[in-house]
Amino acid sequence: MSASAFTQLFIFFLILTFVVRCWLSIRQIRHIRAHQEKVPEQFVGSISLASHQKAAAYTVAKTRFSLVSLIVETAVLLGFTLFGGLEKLSDWVLGISGNDMIYQIALIALASIIVGAIDLPFDYWQQFVLEEKFGFNKMTPPLFVGDIVKSAILGVIIGLPVIWVLLTVMGKAGTWWWLYAWILWTIFQYLMLFLYPTFIAPLFNKFTPLQDEQLRLKIEDLMKRVGFQSKGLFVMDGSKRSAHGNAYFTGFGAAKRVVFFDTLIEKLSPEEIEAVLAHELGHFRLKHVMKRMLATSILSLVFLAILGYLKNQSWFYAGLGVDSIPAGGSDAVALILFALTLPIFTFFLSPLMAISSRKHEFEADAFSAKYTQADDLVHALVKMYQDNASTLTPDPLHSAFYDSHPPASQRINHLLGHS
């Protein structure tokens, strides 16, 4: 393939993805507005018109915000590629670094910092304007800055060594480097499953053992019936950042933990909490977690193999605006270009991933209905949809691309069929 042909292919997918994403967002806004004056019949009596309209306004606001973010993301992508931004950054870094590895690590780090700095105002606006407007923000500016600092420190401690190992493998492992890199990446991901609950998550949130004795006994009985062993039951102080609530389990093997947001504990009854947890445990018992990890692992292998091919093709660099590559520096440039452009080439695979995810959600709902009362999960879902201002009337096509969970009406109909 020639560089000009690849440029044309890139521009085609960039425009196509941009137009389709805009079209989907406009569909979502129009569909929600068309149904905001009437609560769906299925939810009459359980969700007020005011709550339904709040959810509609919240979803429309988020969708509009996503359109602005999309425009900026597209501009940044063009700036790094066809407008020569990455090549200029590469030349500048090369001028102040005298070592190939230092140059490559610095280039990747600076590109990440630039993208993060561009995203920062949007993250701030989303948290302190959009979430604040609808009553969900509980975060303070010092906490916001603290999270950024902690994330940056973790990036240095964990991210830089990972980049160094990857670049070393790319440069010295020969033709099959991508296979060795995949093996190391897979090991790293499994290692993080052990380290995250114990060492990383507590840096951002406080986890305290569940104190409610009645609830604890109910949950322990459920886990015994389901066949799930956990290192502990914890309540997370999610309310210091957001009014949204959830429950999840994290970790792997002996490091598994069951975690409840404190906001969830406050808003749901013990029976409803049990039903929500049964849903989450269903993902574990039905091996959804392992299936997702396997799928992610396979995709990682495929993408690394593609990168292994592309990094040796001059048209890949030239076609994306990088004509001058320093000796020994192509690996870092290839990684950055691949990471920047992959989303536009894979966007239309989103519905396929969503189909699998939704299937798992239905199966986990059915699992919960088997071990708890289906009505309890229905009531919990209604409360969570209301408290989180989740729209009850998403556009079907927009939902097919973006939503990993089925629409509320479908989930509840499915659940009532198991009552």
- Which DSSP state fits 157? I
Quote the CA–CA distance of 280 and 303 in Å, as a whole number.
Answer: 30
List the one residue out of 339, 350, 356 whose CA is nearest residue 304.
339
Please tell me whether 37 is known to bind a ligand: no
Q: Is 271 one of the catalytic residues?
A: no
In 266-294, which positions are buried (b, 16+ CB within 10 angstroms) versus exposed (e)?
A: ebbebbbbbbbbbbbbbbbbeebeeeebe
Strands lying side by side in the sheet with 247-250:
207-209, 233-236, 257-261, 247-250
Quote the CA–CA distance of 26 and 401 in Å, as a whole number.
Answer: 14
Q: Strand 233-236 and strand 257-261: pairing?
A: parallel
CB-count exposure of residue 368 (10 Å: 0-12, 13-18, 19+) = buried
Among the listed residues 131, 280, 387, 395, the single catalytic one is 280
Quote the CA–CA distance of 133 and 243 in Å, as a whole number.
Answer: 12
Q: Is 237 one of the catalytic residues?
A: no
Please tell me whether 379 is known to bind a ligand: no
Question: Do 218 and 272 touch, CB atoms closer than 8 A?
Answer: no
Please tell me whether 283 is known to bind a ligand: yes
| Relative orientation angle of helices 374-387 and 49-80, to the nearest 10 degrees | 70
Among the listed residues 87, 272, 365, 376, the single catalytic one is 365
Annotated binding site: 279, 283, 361
Output the known binding site for Zn(2+).
Answer: 279, 283, 361
Q: Which residues are catalytic?
A: 280, 365
